[in-house]
């Protein structure tokens, strides 16, 4: 993972850790905002409907009051018929104003009130018909008011409800909200939605007709959100016109009614995302700074460890060479064999020292991968390590997988890694013991394990066993570069390196690599 | 050459497509339809007459003009008229002088060919104003499928339920076909249009117009018609002095206001109403045509004060047959074009059923002095005019410039533009 990716991950982690709760709270806030907005819109529509219903009720009540006044003033007048006839001039909404007595012929009675209703009016009770459409299509209702100044008589009239049309059509909520008015039977009698007006004249039921009947009974339980008559979801507020049983509903497309809340939600979400992006950007930048500083510090630490290792090892070598020089300065021929052995040994040690550094400097990314049969490879490695093992008094064994097991590997580097593990195992083993190279096939993987019966490794050392310059052996040419180098090589092969160790019972190092098909089968597959 | 073709293709792609010539206007009308002929008088078939036939003279603004006559002039016998060249019937045959003569004679006037594409229309012995009469004469030629006309449309089919006319020469962007669809009532006609089964309805009342406002796909069109509500003073029962007293006593602006909800014009300043002297009650009548007329009758009775007597409600026919029983009647009269009033008030004119006579008025008409005629009527009023009636229709909103004719309701329809 490069520093940029690492800094990005660090920044995202920091941002998520900090902003996730904020985002969660924001999401909850947005949900609450949406719900409150809907309930607020419905309340507003209900209020408009309520005001409309009140005004319609007040209009009808006003007309009836006018008729009461007329009935009181004119009914007892000898010229009552003419005075009542001319009421229409001053109150255009009142028509066919007539005085009805006990002997009135049926033709003189209001068309939409039954005879018994008229009789009830003559008896002192005001009566009102349902809303009906007159022959010319305008809404009207008939009413009879007791003529107080002429007992046993009533003044009847026709209310022209054109004003109801006008009033309902004038109600506008937002850009598309409108009002509808229904009579007791759920028949549409006025509509602010132009597309529904034909239903007023034809008497056809509209989708809200059933709801209107229910709302007249229990307005609080009338639905407030449903598919509207124009094919869009609407929010609705219902109200009942006093004393009439008519209902008024004010509808507004939900998308329009909730647009402010939606806008607020979008803005809130955008702000949160912008904050998150800003946080990540700032975090990335700061992480890059921190990582750069860490890298500098790490380089100094590494240099220090290298220097410590080199100082320790080369110091030891220098001390031996100084002793050897002292022996040479004595010019004593008896010392010659010892001087020769010392020089030979130190040269070999320094050569290994240089080789370790050479491995360290090698670029493991430029692998030259070739098919490698792991059993044969293990046998080859054993042969290469045999002289050293023999010198150390340790025997080497091989446990092969028994069937061809192929991997793709850079033979030179993989051999360096395997020999390193073998060399370590031999050096860790007591004389007379055995080190075994084990090859095994595990599902789609190939394993090469080096098993010794040495002292084992202390658990606290296992944690940093593969860190560079962490070796504590400090004997011979061990500068702590061997195992880190092995790990580097194995990982470059898309493999993994692991160790199991029990103090006093030995250690097992495992190199696990992806298994491949045999070269011929692979070639055939590629060919096909 | 290839480049030229490419350019031509590109240019043709950029040119807007021509507007359609096959637009169909389906008009919902009230009542069964009569067969279409030049002299159909009743039923909504008269709307189709505006499209299929042309009058010898027709209102152009406040004056009279003609599409069929190149010119006309008065002479001692009546009017000498010259046929405009190139006019044709809907079957492509040319209009002849004989066709004009036949059409004028069918309207009860005398006419004869005068040679060189001219004809002589003789003044009627009853003194009826000739030009006003010619404004009501439709030109036709009998054909196997009915009367041919010279208008921009011709008859396709007709029944009592539906009458169809189509454009003689289709014009892009204009209405190609008009269908009159019969309905039982104005309520049904209006409902059909609101539902989209028809795309026009005419002769709406003002209250209906309110229901049409804001309906998707429809627009409300308003215009002034040729009629006006009028208080006709029955000259057979009222002398000139009484008529003048009544004219001075009635608050016309107030009557107009209560009758129709608005006044045609603001009431003239400084006009004082003079109460009627005591006397016998006047008997009034109203033609039961519509609400405003009836309210106007009530308002007139109230305006007459103590002399406002019995109010009779009579049908259009009874207005003539019972004319001996009332002193005033509120009814509709033709007032447009202005010259048409001569048909009512000239001595002996065909519609002058009150037998009103005003020599000064007659002389002004004879001279063609319409302003003088109007002044003579004001001095001895046979009628008190209220507002010219409003014509209201709801028509398809794809029509860009609909207007309603001041004389024939659909006379302007051939010029309506259809928007794609």
A-chain residues near B205 (CB < 8 A)? 136
Our CA-based measurement puts residue A195 at a distance from the nearest CA of chain B, in whole angstroms, of 6
Region of poorest pLDDT, from A3-7, B275-279, B403-407: A3-7
Mean pLDDT, rounded, for B110-120: 93
Q: Looking at the domain assignment, is residue B85 inside a domain?
A: yes
CB contact under 8 A, B190 and A166: no
3-class secondary structure per residue, A499-513: EEEECCCEEEEEEEE
Nearest CA-CA partner of A405 in A434, A373, A378, A439:
A373
Q: Looking at the domain assignment, is residue B5 inside a domain?
A: no
Residue of B nearest to A201 (CA): B191
Q: Dihedrals φ, ψ of B287, to 5°?
A: -80, 125
Query: Would you call A166 an interface residue with chain B, using a CB distance cutoff of 8 Å?
Result: yes
CB contact under 8 A, B187 and A136: yes
What total of structural domains would you count in chain B?
3
Report whether pLDDT(A447) > 50. yes
Q: Looking at the domain assignment, is residue B12 inside a domain?
A: no
Report whether pLDDT(A377) > 70. yes
| DSSP bridge partners of A250 | A179, A237
State the residue range of the domain holding B90: 54-146
Q: How far apart are CA B175 and CA B168, in angstroms?
A: 11
Q: Which of residues 61-90 of A touch B (CB under 8 A)?
A: 85-86, 88-90
Q: Dihedrals φ, ψ of B74, to 5°?
A: -80, 145
Indicate the residue among B122, B146, B170 that finishes a domain: B146
Nearest CA-CA partner of A119 in A105, A137, A101, A132:
A101
CB contact under 8 A, B194 and A137: no
Residue A50: exposed, middle, or buried by beta-carbon count in 10 A (0-12, 13-18, 19+)?
Answer: middle
Grade residue B381 by pLDDT with cuts at 50, 70 and 90.
very high
Residues B296 and B414 in one domain: no
Grade residue A238 by pLDDT with cuts at 50, 70 and 90.
very high
Q: Which of A92, A192, A202 sits opposite B191 (nearest CB)?
A: A202
Q: What is the pLDDT of residue B2?
A: 57
A-chain residues near B261 (CB < 8 A)? 92
CA-angle at A378, arms to A375 and A383, nearest 5°: 130
Both tokens of B351, joined, read 């519609």
Q: What is the DSSP letter of A109?
A: S
Q: Which of residues 469-528 of A touch B (CB under 8 A)?
A: none
Report whether pLDDT(A31) > 80. no
User: Whole-structure pTM over 0.80, yes or no?
Assistant: no
Residue A316: exposed, middle, or buried by beta-carbon count in 10 A (0-12, 13-18, 19+)?
Answer: middle
Report whether pLDDT(A475) > 80. no
Residues B249 and B348 in one domain: yes
Grade residue A477 by pLDDT with cuts at 50, 70 and 90.
very low
Mean pLDDT of chain A: 85
Residue of B nearest to A87 (CA): B298
Q: Looking at the domain assignment, is residue B4 inside a domain?
A: no
CB contact under 8 A, A136 and B207: yes
C-alpha dist (Å) from residue B9 to B1, B15, B16, B17, B19: 12, 10, 13, 14, 20
Grade residue B5 by pLDDT with cuts at 50, 70 and 90.
low
Q: Which of residues 178-237 of A touch B (CB under 8 A)?
A: 192, 194-195, 197-198, 200-202
Residues B157 and B37 in one domain: yes
Q: How far apart are CA B153 and CA B336, in angstroms?
A: 24
Residues B176, B24 contacting (CB under 8 angstroms): yes
What one-character-per-residue DSSP string does B218-243 give?
Answer: EEEEEEEEEEEEEEEE-TTTS-HHHH
Report whether pLDDT(A268) > 80. no
Query: Widest CA span of chain B, in angstroms?
Result: 98
Our CA-based measurement puts residue B260 at a distance from the nearest CA of chain A, in whole angstroms, of 10
Region of poorest pLDDT, from A152-166, A259-273, B152-166: A259-273
CATH number where B353 lies: 3.10.105.10
Residues B282 and B303 in one domain: yes
Q: How far apart are CA B50 and CA B29, in angstroms?
A: 15
Give SS3 for A274.
helix
CATH number where B155 lies: 3.40.190.10
Region of poorest pLDDT, from A151-165, A242-256, A465-479: A465-479
Q: Dihedrals φ, ψ of A291, to 5°?
A: -65, -35
Q: What is the pLDDT of residues B281-318, one digit of tens each?
A: 999 999 976 778 888 999 999 999 999 999 999 998 89
Q: Which of B205, B214, B258 sits opposite A194 (nearest CB)?
A: B214
Q: Which residue has the tokens 């395997």?
A: A418
Residue of B nearest to A88 (CA): B295
A-chain residues near B299 (CB < 8 A)? 89
Q: Which of B195, B214, B261 sits opposite A198 (nearest CB)?
A: B195
Q: What is the pLDDT of residue A476?
A: 45
Q: What is the pLDDT of residue B10?
A: 55
Q: How far apart are CA A465 and CA A482, in angstroms?
A: 10
What one-character-per-residue DSSP string does B56-111 give?
Answer: SSEEETTEEE-SSEEEEEE-SSEEEEEEPTT-B-TTSPBP-HHHHHHHHHHTT-EE
CB contact under 8 A, A194 and B216: yes
Residues B353 and B382 in one domain: yes
Grade residue B17 by pLDDT with cuts at 50, 70 and 90.
low
Domain ranges of chain A: 1-257, 260-347, 362-527
Residues B331 and B235 in one domain: yes
C-alpha dist (Å) from residue B29 to A370, B114, B189, B291: 96, 42, 6, 20
Give SS3 for B329.
strand
Q: Looking at the domain assignment, is residue B182 inside a domain?
A: yes
Report whether pLDDT(A474) > 50. no
B-chain residues near A86 (CB < 8 A)? 298, 301-302
Q: How far apart are CA B408 and CA A516, in angstroms?
A: 98
Q: What is the pLDDT of residue A264?
A: 76
Query: Would you call A170 an interface residue with chain B, using a CB distance cutoff of 8 Å?
Result: no
Residue of A nearest to B30 (CA): A136
A-chain residues near B291 (CB < 8 A)? 95
Residues B171 and B265 in one domain: no
CATH number where B75 lies: 3.90.76.10
Residues B139 and B268 in one domain: no
Q: Which of B207, B214, B295 sits opposite A138 (nearest CB)?
A: B207
B-chain residues near A198 (CB < 8 A)? 191, 194-195
Q: Which residue has the tokens 């993987």?
A: A445
Q: Which residue has the tokens 């014509």?
A: B391
Q: What is the pLDDT of residue A281?
A: 79
Residue of A nearest to B218 (CA): A194
Our CA-based measurement puts residue A214 at a distance from the nearest CA of chain B, in whole angstroms, of 27
Grade residue A143 by pLDDT with cuts at 50, 70 and 90.
very high
CB contact under 8 A, B302 and A86: yes
Give SS3 for A252.
strand
Mean pLDDT, rounded, for A188-194: 92
Q: Which residues, 6+ apart, have CB-to-CB distance to B47 below 8 Å?
A: B27, B29, B180, B202, B409, B410
Q: Which residue has the tokens 């009544």?
A: B246
Residues B312 and B268 in one domain: yes
Question: Which stretches of A362-503 are assigned E, i.e. beta strand?
Answer: 370-373, 395-399, 406-409, 434-442, 445-451, 496-502
Terminal CA-to-CA distance of chain A, rounded, Å? 37
Choose, out of B205, B206, B214, B296, the residue to mutate when testing the contact with A (most A CBs < 10 Å): B214
CB–CB contacts below 8 A, A to B: 66
Mean pLDDT, rounded, for A338-354: 84
Q: What is the pLDDT of residue A266?
A: 81
Q: Which residues, 6+ apart, have CB-to-CB distance to B398 below 8 Å?
A: B23, B418, B419
C-alpha dist (Å) from residue B242 to A42, B214, B360: 67, 49, 19
Report whether pLDDT(B187) > 50. yes
B-chain residues near A192 (CB < 8 A)? 214
CB contact under 8 A, A137 and B214: no
Residues B250 and B385 in one domain: yes
H/E run at residue A285:
helix A259-329
Residue % of chain B over a pLDDT of 90:
63
CB contact under 8 A, B186 and A165: no
Our CA-based measurement puts residue A240 at a distance from the nearest CA of chain B, in whole angstroms, of 23
Q: What is the pLDDT of residue A311?
A: 77
Choose, out of A79, A89, A97, A181, the residue to mutate when testing the contact with B (most B CBs < 10 Å): A89
Residues B371 and B383 in one domain: yes
Residues B260, B292 contacting (CB under 8 angstroms): yes
Query: Would you call A92 an interface residue with chain B, using a CB distance cutoff of 8 Å?
Result: yes
Q: Looking at the domain assignment, is residue B374 inside a domain?
A: yes
Residue of A nearest to B194 (CA): A198
Residues B248 and B344 in one domain: yes
The neighbour count for residue B144, using CB atoms within 10 Å, is 6
Residue % of chain B over a pLDDT of 70:
92
Residue A311: exposed, middle, or buried by beta-carbon count in 10 A (0-12, 13-18, 19+)?
Answer: exposed
CATH 3.10.150.10, domain A362-527, yes or no: no
Grade residue A354 by pLDDT with cuts at 50, 70 and 90.
confident
B-chain residues near A201 (CB < 8 A)? 187-188, 190-191, 194, 211
Q: Looking at the domain assignment, is residue B120 inside a domain?
A: yes
CB contact under 8 A, B210 and A165: yes
Our CA-based measurement puts residue A170 at a distance from the nearest CA of chain B, in whole angstroms, of 11
Q: What is the DSSP letter of B129?
A: -
Report whether pLDDT(B13) > 60. no
Our CA-based measurement puts residue B285 at a distance from the nearest CA of chain A, in whole angstroms, of 15
Report whether pLDDT(A424) > 70. yes
Choose, out of A83, A201, A229, the residue to mutate when testing the contact with B (most B CBs < 10 Å): A201
**Reported ipTM:** 0.81
Our CA-based measurement puts residue B28 at a distance from the nearest CA of chain A, in whole angstroms, of 14
Residue of A nearest to B291 (CA): A95
Region of poorest pLDDT, from A21-25, A128-132, A246-250, B227-231: A21-25
Report whether pLDDT(A454) > 50. yes
Cα dihedral A26→A31→A32→A35 (10° resolution): 160
Grade residue A19 by pLDDT with cuts at 50, 70 and 90.
low
A-chain residues near B218 (CB < 8 A)? 194
Q: What is the pLDDT of residue A2?
A: 57
């Amino acid at each position: 993972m490069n520093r940029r990716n690492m800094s990005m991950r660090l920044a995202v982690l920091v941002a998520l850790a900090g902003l996730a709760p904020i985002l969660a709270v924001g999401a909850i806030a947005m949900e609450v905002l949406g719900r409150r907005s809907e309930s607020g819109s419905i309340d507003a529509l209900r209020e408009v409907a309520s005001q409309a219903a009140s005004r319609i009720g007040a209009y009808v009540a006003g007309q009836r009051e006018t008729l009461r006044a007329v009935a009181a003033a004119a009914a007892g007048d000898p010229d009552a018929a003419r005075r009542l006839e001319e009421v229409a001039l001053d109150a255009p909404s009142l028509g066919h104003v007539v005085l009805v007595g006990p002997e009135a012929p049926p033709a003189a009675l209001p068309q939409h009130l039954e005879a018994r209703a008229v009789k009830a009016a003559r008896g002192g009770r005001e009566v009102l018909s349902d809303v009906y459409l007159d022959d010319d299509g305008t809404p009207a209702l008939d009413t009879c008011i007791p003529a107080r100044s002429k007992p046993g008589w009533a003044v009847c009239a026709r209310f022209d409800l054109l004003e109801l049309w006008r009033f309902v059509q004038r109600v506008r909520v937002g850009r598309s909200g409108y009002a509808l008015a229904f009579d007791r039977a759920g028949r549409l009698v006025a509509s602010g939605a132009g597309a529904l007006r034909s239903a007023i004249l034809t008497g056809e039921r509209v989708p809200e007709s059933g709801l209107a009947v229910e709302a007249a009974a229990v307005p609080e339980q009338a639905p407030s959100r449903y598919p509207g008559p124009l094919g869009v979801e609407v929010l609705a507020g219902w109200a009942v016109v006093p004393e009439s049983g008519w209902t008024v509903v004010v509808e507004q497309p939900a998308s329009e009614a909730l647009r402010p809340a939606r806008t607020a939600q979008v803005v809130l979400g955008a702000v949160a995302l912008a904050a998150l992006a800003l946080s990540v950007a700032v975090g990335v930048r700061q992480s890059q700074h921190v990582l750069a500083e860490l890298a500098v510090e790490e380089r100094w630490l590494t240099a220090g460890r290298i220097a410590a290792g080199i100082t320790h090892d080369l110091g030891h070598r220098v001390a031996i060479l100084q002793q050897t020089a002292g022996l040479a300065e004595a010019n004593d021929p008896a010392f010659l064999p010892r001087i020769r052995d010392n020089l030979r040994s130190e040269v070999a040690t320094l050569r290994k020292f240089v080789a370790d550094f050479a491995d360290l400097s090698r670029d493991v990314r430029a692998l030259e991968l070739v098919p490698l049969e792991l059993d044969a490879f293990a046998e080859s490695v054993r042969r290469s390590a045999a002289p050293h093992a023999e010198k150390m008094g340790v025997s080497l064994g091989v446990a092969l997988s028994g069937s061809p097991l192929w991997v793709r590997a850079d033979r030179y580097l993989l051999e360096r890694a395997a020999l390193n593990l073998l060399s370590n195992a031999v050096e860790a083993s007591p004389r007379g013991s055995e080190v075994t190279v084990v090859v095994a096939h595990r599902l789609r993987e190939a394993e090469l394990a080096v098993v010794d019966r040495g002292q084992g490794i202390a658990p606290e050392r296992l944690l940093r066993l593969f860190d560079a310059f962490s070796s504590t052996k400090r004997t011979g040419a061990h500068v702590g570069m061997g195992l880190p180098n092995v790990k580097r090589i194995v990982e470059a092969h898309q493999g993994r390196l692991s160790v199991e160790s029990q103090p006093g019972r030995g250690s097992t190092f495992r190199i696990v690599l992806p298994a491949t098909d045999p070269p011929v089968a692979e070639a055939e597959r590629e060919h096909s | 050459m290839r480049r030229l073709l490419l350019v031509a293709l590109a240019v043709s792609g950029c040119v807007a497509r021509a507007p359609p010539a096959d637009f169909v206007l389906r008009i919902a009308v009230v009542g069964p339809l009569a067969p279409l002929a030049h002299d159909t008088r009743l039923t909504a078939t008269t709307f189709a007459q505006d499209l299929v036939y042309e009058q010898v003279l027709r209102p152009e603004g406040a004056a009279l003009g003609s599409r069929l006559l190149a010119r006309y002039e008065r002479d001692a016998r009546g009017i000498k008229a010259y046929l405009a060249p190139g006019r044709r019937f809907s079957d492509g045959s040319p209009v002849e002088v004989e066709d004009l003569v036949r059409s004028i004679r069918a309207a009860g006037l005398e006419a004869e060919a005068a040679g060189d594409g001219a004809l002589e229309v003789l003044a009627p012995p009853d003194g009826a104003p000739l030009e006003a009469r010619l404004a009501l004469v439709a030109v036709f030629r009998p054909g196997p499928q009915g009367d041919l006309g010279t208008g921009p449309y011709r008859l396709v089919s007709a029944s009592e339920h539906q009458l169809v006319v189509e454009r003689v020469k289709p014009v892009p962007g204009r209405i190609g076909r008009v269908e009159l669809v019969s309905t039982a009532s104005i309520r049904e006609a209006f409902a059909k249009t609101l539902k989209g089964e028809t795309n026009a309805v005419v002769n709406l009342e003002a209250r209906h117009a309110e229901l049409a406002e804001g309906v998707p796909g429809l627009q409300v069109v308003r215009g002034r018609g040729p009629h006006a509500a009028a208080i006709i003073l029955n000259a057979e029962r009222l002398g000139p002095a009484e008529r003048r007293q009544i004219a001075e006593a009635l608050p016309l602006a107030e009557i107009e206001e209560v009758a129709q909800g608005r006044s045609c014009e603001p009431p003239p300043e400084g006009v004082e109403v003079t109460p009627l002297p005591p006397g016998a009650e006047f008997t009034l009548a109203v033609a039961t045509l519509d609400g405003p007329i009836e309210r106007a009758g009530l308002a007139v009775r109230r305006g007459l004060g103590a002399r406002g007597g019995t109010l009779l409600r009579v049908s259009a026919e009874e207005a003539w047959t019972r004319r001996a029983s009332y002193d005033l009647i509120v009814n509709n009269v033709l007032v447009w074009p202005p010259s048409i009033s001569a048909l009512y008030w000239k001595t002996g004119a065909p519609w002058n059923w009150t037998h009103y006579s005003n020599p000064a008025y007659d002389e002004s008409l004879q001279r063609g002095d319409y302003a003088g005629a109007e002044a003579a009527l004001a001095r001895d009023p046979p009628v008190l005019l209220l507002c010219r009636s409003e014509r209201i229709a709801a028509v398809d909103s794809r029509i860009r410039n609909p207007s309603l004719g001041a004389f024939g309701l659909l006379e302007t329809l051939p010029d309506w533009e259809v928007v794609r």
